[in-house]
Amino acid sequence: MSDQALSGKTGVVFGVANKRSIAWAIAKAWHKAGARLIFNYQGERLRENVEELISEFGADTQMFPCDVTNDAEIEAFFSRVKEVAPKLDLLLHSVAFAPKEALEGDFVSTTREAFRVAHDVSAYSLVALSRAAAEFMTDGGSILAMTYFGAVKVVPHYNVMGVAKASLEASARYLAADLGARKIRVNCISAGPVQTLAARGIAGFSAMLKHYEEHAPLKRSCSPDELGHTGVFLASDGAAAITGQVLYVDGGYEIMGM
């Protein structure tokens, strides 16, 4: 893969909250590989944070507000993108949320509202964003979403987020089938545990990291930089025939039966 594998490409990045965000690691790698990026931020609370971070890419790097549960904000976001970029090539979906209490107790206690919110923010948003972005992917494109092993196996405390990630992964497959004829690929990276703001909301997260150090073939999870490299690969022509897949970047943990 060349250093400038994404040269000439434009991408939109959803999910930078701070410098520890996985979205930030992938954005840095995409930028280094030559892509021009446009960011979302969710409400005024995060505006300054994101503004300060993206200034690293040059003063002309743009960001627009977008809460992914709000159709009007998604429409407004992409109409502003259209004003500044003639076409889009890349979309990163690195967004998830579930009410804290749903990630603490047992899964059977999940309320209807927590189930709805988790799926709206973490899974349906991929469908809504892909539909909006695909309109501008006139020369093909690559859509990438972040997922976790809790989608396919039971991980203590991950609860409704695991069910939402299963929906995200299935959505990626259906989107890949729909959009393939337009040369738009849709893939997921299933990352091992990484210390981020969202991860801190999961009860027992430190124990999860330790578990990977003890049980993954590589005796560790993954680093944000490694997720960045994988993100560049999946966005590049090196992955031109790969779509609808979930690629595990987890120290090999996923292959273990015991």
For ligand NAP, the binding residue among 34, 57, 62, 69 (CB under 6 A) is 69
Active site residue 148: yes
> In angstroms, what is the minimal distance from the CB of 25 to ligand NAP?
8
The 3-class secondary structure across the chain, one letter per residue, is CCCCCCCCCEEEEECCCCCCCHHHHHHHHHHHCCCEEEEEECCHHHHHHHHHHHHHHCCCCEEEECCCCCHHHHHHHHHHHHHHCCCCCEEEECCCCCCHHHHCCCHHHCCHHHHHHHHHHHHHHHHHHHHHHHCCCECEEEEEEEECHHHCCCCCCCHHHHHHHHHHHHHHHHHHHHHHHHCEEEEEEEECCCCCHHHHCCCCHHHHHHHHHHHCCCCCCCCHHHHHHHHHHHHCHHHCCCCCCEEEECCCHHHCCC
Which residues, numbered 200-239, are part of the site for ligand NAP (CB under 6 A)?
none
68 is a site residue for ligand NAP (CB under 6 A): yes
For ligand NAP, the binding residue among 191, 234, 235, 239 (CB under 6 A) is 191
**221 or 243: CB nearest ligand NAP:** 221
Task: Specify the stretch interacting with ligand NAP by CB under 6 A; choose among 10-18, 55-63, 79-87, 211-219.
Answer: 10-18
> In angstroms, what is the minimal distance from the CB of 112 to ligand NAP?
18
Number of shown-chain residues binding ligand NAP (CB under 6 A):
26
Catalytic residue (choose from 148, 212, 248, 253): 148
Which residues, numbered 40-59, are part of the site for ligand NAP (CB under 6 A)?
42, 46
22 is a site residue for ligand NAP (CB under 6 A): yes
Active site residue 212: no
Tokens of 13: 């990045």
76 is a site residue for ligand NAP (CB under 6 A): no
Return residues touching ligand NAP (CB under 6 A). Answer: 15-17, 21-23, 42, 46, 67-69, 94-97, 121, 146-148, 191, 193-194, 196-199
- Residues taking part in catalysis: 148, 158
